[in-house]
Amino acid sequence: MARQSRFTAAQRHSAVLRAFEGSEAVESVAEELGVHAATLYRWAKESERDSGESTRLRLIRTAQDMLRDHTYTSVTVEAVAARSAVAPRTAFHTFAGKADLFRAAVDDAATRLIAAIAAASAEEAWPAEPVGQLGVFLTVAARSIYETPSAHVLFRDVGVPRQGGPAEDWHSAFVDAVAALISAGIAGGEIAADVDVRATARVITGAMRGIHAAVFDGADPVVAVRSVGRLVAMVDSAEGAARQVQM
């Protein structure tokens, strides 16, 4: 049975960074820890097995976390690296720069959210009517958003430069999904034929974004889910849809 190390994984990782990516000598770090220099080389080799993706994910998760209390302009790559226990030069080797890191953080959040909505949707009992499906879709999406902490970077204005990628694709796909359900409602006679499908879909999506931003800023998620459910009233009648589109 292998003897358990008296050093935690975090302590070993920190030692490897100091010895091989910092300004300290391997022998100095080993002496301070009371281990042989060969031990540090072994730790370094062990960490190489998963360092590539784990380093990337650590930086992404830390960037997402820091954007809860700071804006894009106030956070540096060096600060993210320090909190992630990653050497600055490793961070800049992993990402081309600040914009690259934070776009990755936003795209990661979008990718995780899409998966969460898909998983939650598969467990729902969907009604036959398109308007009912729209209500379920908006509610499932809202709950998935609130259960995905990193999603806050998609809804709060944290100043991350926008660029094509999963985040932008997700927003467009959401509008498309709402528009498709509205169109189906028109075809089925549930929704008036003169409703502007794309404009109404954009209004509903915009309202969703505002509600979600409020939740991530401290509003009650339960109240928010109820509010999301009421968005269906925008297209439940010709008069209501027309009024909302004209606003």
Q: What is the pLDDT of residues 204-213, one digit of tens each?
A: 988 988 999 8
Tokens of 165: 């990628």
Q: Where are the domains of the chain?
A: 1-49, 100-246
**How many percent of the chain have pLDDT more than 90?**
18
Q: Among candidates 104, 102, 82, 101, which has minimal Cα distance to 92? A: 101
Task: Indicate the burial class of 151 (C-beta count within 10 angstroms; 0-12, 13-18, 19 or more).
Answer: buried
Architecture of domain 100-246: Orthogonal Bundle (1.10)
Q: Does residue 135 contact residue 235 with C-beta atoms inside 8 Å?
A: no
Question: Of 1-15, 17-31, 108-122, where does the model show the most confidence?
Answer: 108-122
The residue that leads in pLDDT, 118 or 164, is 118
Q: Does residue 192 contact residue 138 with C-beta atoms inside 8 Å?
A: no
CA trace torsion 225, 227, 230, 234 (10° rounding):
-120
Q: What is the pLDDT of residues 37-76, one digit of tens each?
A: 888 878 876 765 545 558 888 899 999 999 888 888 889 9
Tokens of 32: 């301070």
240: pLDDT confidence band, cut at 50, 70 and 90? very low
Counting Cα atoms < 13 Å in the Cβ hemisphere of 202 gives 7
pTM value is: 0.69
